[in-house]
Amino acid sequence: MDQRTVSSVIAGRPVAGAPGGRIRSTNPARLDEVVADVALGDATLLVTAAQVASDAQRAWADVPAPVRGRAIAHIGRLVEDNKQALAALVTREIGKPYPEALGEVQEIIDTCDFFLGEGRRLYGQTVPSEMPDKQLFTFRNPVGAVAVITAGNFPVAVPSWYIVPALLCGNSVVWKPAEYSAATAAAFHELFCRGGGLPPGVFNVVYADGPTTFAGLEQALDAGLIDKVGFTGSSEVGARIGELAGRHLQSACLELGGKNPMVVTASADIDLAVEGALFGGFGTAGQRCTSLGTVICHESVHDEFLTRFAEATAAAAVGDPFADVLYGPMLDIRFSERFERFLAWIGPQHKIMGSSGIGRITAANPRARFAGDPEAGIFCHPTIVDGVRPGDKIFDQETFGPLVGVTTYRTLDQAVELANAPGYGLSSSIYTSDASEAFRFRRGVSAGMVSVNNSTSGAEAHLPFGGNGKSGNGSRQSGQWVLDQFTRWQALNWDYSGRLQKAQMDVAELTPDHDFRL
Ligand code: UN1
C-alpha cells in the first residue's frame, strides 16, 4: 500500500525538516499499516506561514471575484474527478466507511457548486440617502489572512466549509488539519492548489500538534498576521481559541461539540426513529459533532423504542470500513482511549444494551457480525445506556464515540428541558406526526439545527451549520450565512452635491397633518 511522506507547504513549497518532530498516521482498521510519515512544524513555522499568507492576501483580493469563482469551479471539478481516490484515502486514514467517505467528498463538491456562483454575486447594496445628490453603498471586503484549524472526523468536508468561502471572498488561508488525517489533508491541499491554480502563498498548510498550534497562533495574532480564526473541535479548546481571538478583538468562527438530543414522541413512527437513532448514534462510530447523544423518549413508547433500537444495534454490522458496515474503527487510538473513560461513567442505575460487550472489540470481547479482524484495528462495541438523567456525566457531557443514552419524558416541555439541559446546542431532532409538537420543539430547543423525522446528522451543505452554548459562539458556516464570517461589511457614502450636507441635520422634512380625520 502506498505510504506518503507529508510535510507542510508554505508559499507553494514543501517545508524541509521536521522542527516539531515526526509522527506516523496509521490506518485505524489495520494499525500496522502506515498511511503517512508526517513532518510536524513548530510555532515559528506557523508564524512564517501566517506571514506568507498575510503578504499574499492583497494580490489575491485584487483578483476579480468572478475569476476567484472560476478557481472554485475548477477545484470542484478536480475533486469530482478524484472523488473515489480521495474517499478511499479518507477510509484508509480515519476508518470512515467508504460510502460515507464518498458522501464526505461530495460535500466538498456541493460547497464548490454553491460558491462558484457567489463569485458573480458577492453582492453589496445600493442604499438611498436621506439627502439629495448623495448615494450610499455597502461592500463586502475580505477579512484578510485566515487560520483554519480542523478536526479529523470530517477531514475534508468540514475544511472545505471554511476554505472554499474564505478563498472565494479574497482571503488567504493557513490551514492546520488534524495530524492523524495528514495524508488526506495533503491530498485535499494539492487538489485545491492544482485545481484552483492558486498563486503561491494564498493557501498554506501546516502540520503541527495542538499545543504548538496554539502557541504559533498566539504569536501570529500578536504580530498582527492573522485576521480571523476558524476552529472545529472540542468545546474546551474552542473556548481557549475564542478567548485568544477575543484578546485581539476578533470573533473566531467556532464549530464545537454537541450532546445532540433526539425526541421520540408518542406519535412517532418508531421504525423511522430507530433508523435515525442507529445512523445518528453509531454512524462514523458516533464521532461526528452531530452524533446523537441522548434519545428522549415519551414514556408511552420508551419500551417499544428501546427494544427495537437495541435489536437493530445488536444486528448491525461493524468492522472493516471497506465492507458493508454501519461503522468502522475509531478515528485514532486517542479516541478509543478517551472513549474508555466515557464508558467508566456508566453507573449501576443504568442498563446497558446493544452488543455482546462494551469497550474495545477483541477476540476475548467479541462482537457478532464483525467484518474482518477486530484486533488488527481499534473497534469499539456500540453501547446503549438506558436510564440516563441530568446529573449523570453520561447525560450531561459529550461522549464522542459509539454510545447513546436513553431517557424518558412525560410532557413536551419536559422533553425540551431535557434536550437543553446539557448546555450544548448544535443539532437536535424530533420524531412526531404532530406538526404543533414539531414547531413547539423548534421554538424551545437551544440547538442551531433541528431535524423533524430525520436524524441529528446529515446536514446539507447549503444551510447554516453551527451551534449555541457549549457548541459554539453563534457563528454559522455554509450557504450565504458563512459570508459574514469571511467578509466585513464596508459602508460607503458618496456626496456629489458639492456642499457639506450633514446627516440628521440637513434633512428635508415634509409637513404632515396629524389632525386630519375621515
Ligand atoms: C461534523 O461532525 O463536524 O451533518 C460535521 C453532518 C455532516 C457534517 C458533520 N454533514 O453530519
Q: If residue 451 lies in a helix (H) or strand (E), which one and from where to where?
A: strand 449-452
| Four-residue CA torsion sign, 181, 183, 187, 190 | positive
Tens-digit pLDDT string for the chain (518 aa):
677 899 999 999 999 999 999 999 999 999 999 999 999 999 999 999 999 999 999 999 999 999 999 999 999 999 999 999 999 999 999 999 999 999 999 999 999 999 999 999 999 999 999 999 999 999 999 999 999 999 999 999 999 999 999 999 999 999 999 999 999 999 999 999 999 999 999 999 999 999 999 999 999 999 999 999 999 999 999 999 999 999 999 999 999 999 999 999 999 999 999 999 999 999 999 999 999 999 999 999 999 999 999 999 999 999 999 999 999 999 999 999 999 999 999 999 999 999 999 999 999 999 988 999 999 999 999 999 999 999 999 999 999 999 999 999 999 999 999 999 999 999 999 999 999 999 999 999 999 999 999 999 988 989 999 999 999 999 999 999 999 999 999 999 999 999 999 999 999 999 999 999 99
Question: Tell me, what's the pLDDT at 459?
Answer: 87
What single string gives the DSSP state of each residue in 378-391?
A: --B--EEEES--TT
Q: Cβ(154) to ligand 1 under 6 A?
A: yes
In sequence order, the β-bridge partners of residue 427 are 449
Quote the ligand 1 centre to 153 CA distance (angstroms): 9
Contact 222, 247 (CB under 8 A): no
Adjacent-strand bridge partners of 488: 141
With a 6 Å cutoff on the Cβ, whether 457 touches ligand 1 is yes
CB of 459 closer than 6 angstroms to any ligand 1 atom: yes
Nearest to 176 by CA among 46, 332, 27, 53: 46
Residue nearest to atom 3 of ligand 1 (CA): 289
Amino acid at 344: A
Residues in the chain: 518
**Rounded distance between C-alpha atoms, residue 168 and residue 70, angstroms:** 9
Q: Which atom of ligand 1 is nearest to the CA of 103?
A: 10
Ligand 1 mean position, distance from CA 107 (Å)? 10
The maximal CA–CA distance of the chain, rounded, in angstroms, is: 90
Nearest to 170 by CA among 501, 504, 490, 492: 490
Distance of CA 349 to the CA centre of its chain: 34
pTM: 0.97
158 lines ligand 1 (CB under 6 A): yes
Q: Indicate which atom in ligand 1 lies nearest the CA of residue 427.
A: 4
Give the C-alpha separation, 423 to 446, whole Å: 8
Strand-pair partners of 126: 137
Q: What spacing in Å lies between the alpha carbon of 297 and ligand 1's midpoint?
A: 24
Decide whether any atom of ligand 1 lies within 6 Å of the 461 Cβ.
Answer: no
Q: Which ligand 1 atom is the nearest neighbour of the CA of 288?
A: 2
* Contact assessment for residue 160 and residue 62, using Cβ atoms and an 8 Å cutoff: no
So what's the pLDDT on residue 458? 87
Q: Which ligand 1 atom is at minimum distance from the Cα of 232?
A: 3
46 exposure class (CB count in 10 Å sphere: 0-12, 13-18, 19+): buried
3-state class (DSSP) for residue 406 = strand
Q: What is the pLDDT of residue 404?
A: 98
State the virtual CA torsion across 342, 345, 346, 347 in degrees, nearest 10: 170
How far is residue 235's CA from residue 449's CA, in Å, rounded to a whole number? 17
* CA 485 from centre of chain: 14
Q: Report the catalytic residues.
A: 289
> Atom of ligand 1 at shortest distance to CA of 107?
10
* Residue 370 near residue 360 (C-beta atoms within 8 A): no
Separation of alpha carbons 2 and 318, rounded Å? 25
Ligand 1 close to Cβ of residue 288 (< 6 A):
yes
- Output the pLDDT for position 1: 60
Q: Rounded to an integer, what distance in angstroms lies between the CA atom of residue 467 and that of residue 303? A: 31
Cα radius of gyration rounded to whole Å, the chain: 25
The helix (run of H) or strand (run of E) holding residue 103 is helix 98-118
C-alpha cell recorded at residue 398: 459529550
Strands 22-27 and 30-39: antiparallel
- Contact between 164 and 112 under an 8 Å Cβ cutoff? The reply is yes
Q: What is the C-alpha to C-alpha distance for residues 369 and 354, in angstroms, rounded to an integer? A: 13
Out of 106, 107, 114, 154, mutate this one to test ligand 1's pocket (max ligand atoms within 8 Å of CB): namely: 154
Residue in the block written with cell 458556516: 477
Query: Distance, CA 392 to ligand 1 centroid (Å)?
Result: 26
User: Quick one: the chain helix, strand, coil %, rounded to 5?
Assistant: 40, 20, 40
Rounded CA gap, 171 and 160, in Å?
14
On whether the CB atoms of residues 255 and 366 are closer than 8 A, the answer is no
Distance 154 CA to ligand 1 centre (A): 7
Q: Where are the beta strands (DSSP E) in 122-272?
A: 126-128, 134-142, 145-149, 172-176, 203-205, 228-232, 253-255, 260-264
